[in-house]
Structure 1
């Protein structure tokens, strides 16, 4: 949001040697009238800071600053009014900051690139020096204000109890309200656009006191965090495993609400809390010896905030530097491209790895999960295939269509003498690789499921045909359905020792676990064959599942299996064990997570998941420094990174320990 022409007289040159900043002093709000002054952070001035979303830059209204009318977004006007109310009539009436507040949109001369380059590195000092930070979370809608009121009520209830009551097991008793019913409306506080903005991370984390505001409401971020932990300890999220099940739609509704609230808390609050804890720990324990540990930990934390948004794509890196504890030269000039900034980010990361990487767990190439030409992502000019596309990732849902790389890298020992510390320069990434397999076939993209009444998707038909054609992996002698399920659920460690013998293991068990997920996967395949055989359960069963490699088929009643079918909304589901109903929801959640990815089959008979633009003939490789196998494409004398993939056979310690065998050739490669 640039000030309109004619406002240059508002801004005089700041003295960078004295860490000078500008502050707004709000004198009235009808209309909003402010003064603008310059202070030095070296003088320890008293002031507050504002954290907010700029909103739609095309929707503006005027405010008066030093007698001049300037256009600001409507969001900023509402935020300034909310802050002024707290200063004059609300919880901050004893504030001694002189109603002075730092607001980035006005206190930085936005068109002045040189000033912007010098002010952004001061953000750490600004937010740690401010008396408090007002976090304007959004327009005061009835839903948002209702969420504020619920939190305020719970905070008041808890504060009214004695210390012994607060610490007791039954401290929630006596609250005359259906607490479980309050959870969905409470989530409105965490689903505003505020929680999607990259800059709010450091603004909330670095603050001495963060105060959430909207309209006339205000609540401490620390108090809200405490209430969330309080409710979690009490177990207020509706537990579908103990609730009566009256039908599949009700079960899914309960689980959807449960997941939404958990997502709201964990995505909005837990990440902020973890980052704040990290910053505080670093401040206490940092030393030259621990610097590399904190730097690596901070860099890995980037995954927590990769889907947060910023107006300027460079800010997807710059906006986290103060929290993560690394520094890059700030450069908003056109000469510094977005691709340059993202490559600088990787170069800075790799420079922190060094020889100590092995001892610290490796995982140096985790950023490859955010990169690759195999995705239908927005193209960033001149961005190498290995460099993270933070612009595309920021527009994702939290887990949509992505394969995550683990922080822990299991490939280090496997490479032995072929280990190589990854480096990047002049647009190329150099690393050690072992080519372990090749893409033989890819299935249709995994589509989203909107309800249980949908017919089987094309990818399930592809999976059925592949499994019926060759049900057993030639080397492991394990049913290949396991490999595909493990890829879908990202759960190979848990599932690798699972042995299913007969029906009771699937249907008779009351223990919730991933064997049930395998059960639902089989049912999904069964449904695909039911369509082909026009609802003839017995023929569908024999076509899809008759193999003595998995269980004794004589003990598997096809009609009992039909009663448990997944893909049709029927009265039978109402008699399911609650644990199985819970599993249905988990299955749908897993499919949402991997939507738009493709299942694939390798020449060695393995199943996996890959980016949607993966092609037959692409190489499956294990890279030294990457926890997941990757898909590479030969491009003359170098390779392009298609994307990370998931193949359980190449994820396990046992498989990777064999990479030194003569059949695998580890070598140094160049990726562009």
Structure 2
């Protein structure tokens, strides 16, 4: 939620008497070009009032429009500022002959009253669950929106004289569907609970309306037809995990899945999901506190989840946060997803993680296998106490060499650059023939390890298939190769058409919009699964070599001199950056900032079995 400058006298006359009270709006009748007139009243939810709720995107707060509120102490209507998108939504909802009772967050809640915002957001699950209906406003008509709506309607209710859908799959139709589901409403974090909580919903797109159930049915149809690679989270939300998981895991999963969703206020990335948990009778010890900064909100959220979710919190950390004083181990949920989770947060990640089996076998380290939240001070700053994590791990050495970053849609895959880094003498000095079952026949072990690291976690390794994909032969030229793959060319064209650019003005696709599933789709299944794994896992990462000669892929933010640690109980290693020392009674005093999860060859793990000692205690600030 955001704020607009409005007359606060509206709320002074209509104070909410209890935490169960809400403000309802009578949207007075009118025709298309009339000014919008409203009446406000308060109501106790326990009295079971009949009302609808509006779900929409706030839009640009710098271009406000005025609605007129009647029935206050002043005889004349009071002007009240709303966003232009809210104004258009009200104009579409307004009936010609009779009033309509609705609840709209921008008007029903005093956005300038922090305590009221806290109370009303905590009540949101009831407000939406007990509404007679939710009305979704997607925006006005576009040149191809009717085509998309016609097709969605046809999917929901096929024509009687057609044995199958009467619309053949054509580029124009697919584009209309893509454009439809890329409307801002579908990417807004608040709509997740706004559409999930009510029993029914009607969708407005310009003058057209359609049942939300029809759009849901299209999602089910698309699962089999696969016309669109991915539909918005609000349609594909994993309700099963919300129903079955522990509350903390359910919250973390919802945060991860909705990470790309937009919110005007970054704190809403957390608070908008709390009502959703309550729908599934899940509760965590976290309440809306709009008096807190985003740093405080994200930190409190991480502290609430860490005891249950453990290492998954650290796997969720991705670079790019600009929040002041945010602990490095706390995910900044306002930063869009930048790369694939190698740890694959959650139970699935723990099952797939190749380090998990090692910890299952080796139970005699006598150290905690979960991060411990502690309050500590740096020796360089004894006056300031910070919330840190105490963990235990093995050092794999500092990063001695690091390659350039691969960004799909922006940079060619740096295959040759990374492969040439293997000529380093420390890399060659390691005997990689020891874990023989991991390799195939007499294949070069170092080359196999390199391609295994690029794919991360995936079992099948196909170096020749990857090279064939990255460097396809030019037509009719058996000895000549293309500079980049056709898939990369398509990505660049897609990024250019999308109009999204990085800080330097170079077109770049957001991570969640990169069509990895289309890469190498004409290759045999085992090949394209491996190639897609390489592209996904290497995106926004760089190849590295530690001073001990071990190889891996690290986050884009990693630098030479960073440490690589294997932490007790964690699914993957982590890249850490020196942050000073901490006085500690447990024997360890090194303190680091978390850069992010990484992936590296297994060799160090095999070596641990042969006596590197117990893990050391370290701190993450």
Q: Aligned residue for 1:349?
A: 305
Distance 2:343 2:528 in 1: 23
User: Displacement, 1:133?
Assistant: 1.2
Distance 1:227 1:202 in 2: 20
Distance 2:597 2:221 in 1: 39
Which structure 2 residues correspond to residues 591-630 of structure 1 after superposition, within 5 A? 591=535, 594-630=538-574
Pair 107,584 (structure 1): closer, same or farther in 2 beyond 3 Å: same
1:311 aligns with 2:264: yes
Query: Larger RCO: Structure 1 or Structure 2 (Cα < 8 Å, ≥ 6 residues apart)?
Result: 1
1:647 aligns with 2:599: yes
Q: Aligned residue for 1:55?
A: 59
Pair 268,607 (structure 1): closer, same or farther in 2 beyond 3 Å: farther
Match of 1:440 among 400, 418, 424: 400
How many residues align? The count is 531
CA contact (8 A) 1:600 1:610 kept: yes
CA contact (8 A) 1:524 1:566 kept: no
CA contact (8 A) 1:370 1:390 kept: no
User: Displacement, 1:303?
Assistant: 1.0
Q: Which runs of 5+ in 1 are unaligned?
A: 162-171, 238-260, 283-291, 354-362, 499-514, 536-558, 571-576
Distance 2:91 2:212 in 1: 20
CA contact (8 A) 1:79 1:214 kept: no
Distance 1:262 1:524 in 2: 21
1:463 aligns with 2:418: yes
Give the structure with the higher percent strand. 2
Aligned to 2:3, what secondary structure does the other structure show?
coil
1:371 aligns with 2:317: yes
Q: Aligned residue for 2:275?
A: 322
User: Displacement, 1:109?
Assistant: 0.6
Q: Deviations over 1:330-388 (max 9, x none)?
A: 2112xx2222211111111124x2xxxxxxxxx6221223436xx3x242111111111
Q: Aligned residue for 2:464?
A: 519
CA contact (8 A) 1:135 1:210 kept: yes
CA contact (8 A) 2:14 2:42 kept: no
Q: Deviations over 1:284-319 (max 9, x none)?
A: xxxxxxxx7344233333211112121112111111
Match of 2:345 among 387, 392, 406: 406
Pair 224,114 (structure 1): closer, same or farther in 2 beyond 3 Å: same
TM-score, L = length of structure 2: 0.76
User: Displacement, 1:618?
Assistant: 2.1
Which structure 2 residues correspond to residues 552-567 of structure 1 after superposition, within 5 A? 562=479, 567=484
User: Displacement, 1:54?
Assistant: 0.3
Give the CA RMSD over aligned residues: 3.6
Q: Aligned residue for 1:45?
A: 49
Q: Deviations over 1:94-123 (max 9, x none)?
A: xxxx62111111100111111111111001
Which structure 2 residues correspond to residues 59-458 of structure 1 after superposition, within 5 A? 59-66=63-70, 67-84=77-94, 99-157=100-158, 160=160, 173-179=163-169, 181=171, 182-233=173-224, 235=225, 237=227, 261-263=228-230, 265=231, 267-271=233-237, 274-275=238-239, 277-279=240-242, 281=243, 293-324=246-277, 325=282, 326-333=284-291, 336-351=292-307, 353=308, 364-371=310-317, 375=319, 377-392=320-335, 394=336, 396=337, 400=339, 403=342, 405-408=344-347, 409=350, 410-411=355-356, 412-413=359-360, 414=362, 416=364, 417-426=366-375, 427-449=387-409
User: Displacement, 1:415?
Assistant: 5.4
Pair 33,425 (structure 1): closer, same or farther in 2 beyond 3 Å: farther
Pair 153,300 (structure 1): closer, same or farther in 2 beyond 3 Å: closer
CA contact (8 A) 1:483 1:647 kept: no
CA contact (8 A) 2:557 2:595 kept: no
CA contact (8 A) 2:69 2:78 kept: yes
Distance 1:205 1:657 in 2: 48
User: Displacement, 1:201?
Assistant: 1.1
Aligned to 1:418, what secondary structure does the other structure show?
coil
Q: Aligned residue for 2:523?
A: 580
Q: Deviations over 1:75-94 (max 9, x none)?
A: 1012122323xx669xxx9x
Pair 131,316 (structure 1): closer, same or farther in 2 beyond 3 Å: same
Q: Aligned residue for 1:167?
A: none
Q: Aligned residue for 1:505?
A: none
Moved more, 428-437 or 121-130: 428-437
TM-score, L = length of structure 1: 0.70
CA contact (8 A) 2:255 2:270 kept: no
Pair 461,102 (structure 1): closer, same or farther in 2 beyond 3 Å: same
Distance 2:562 2:221 in 1: 50
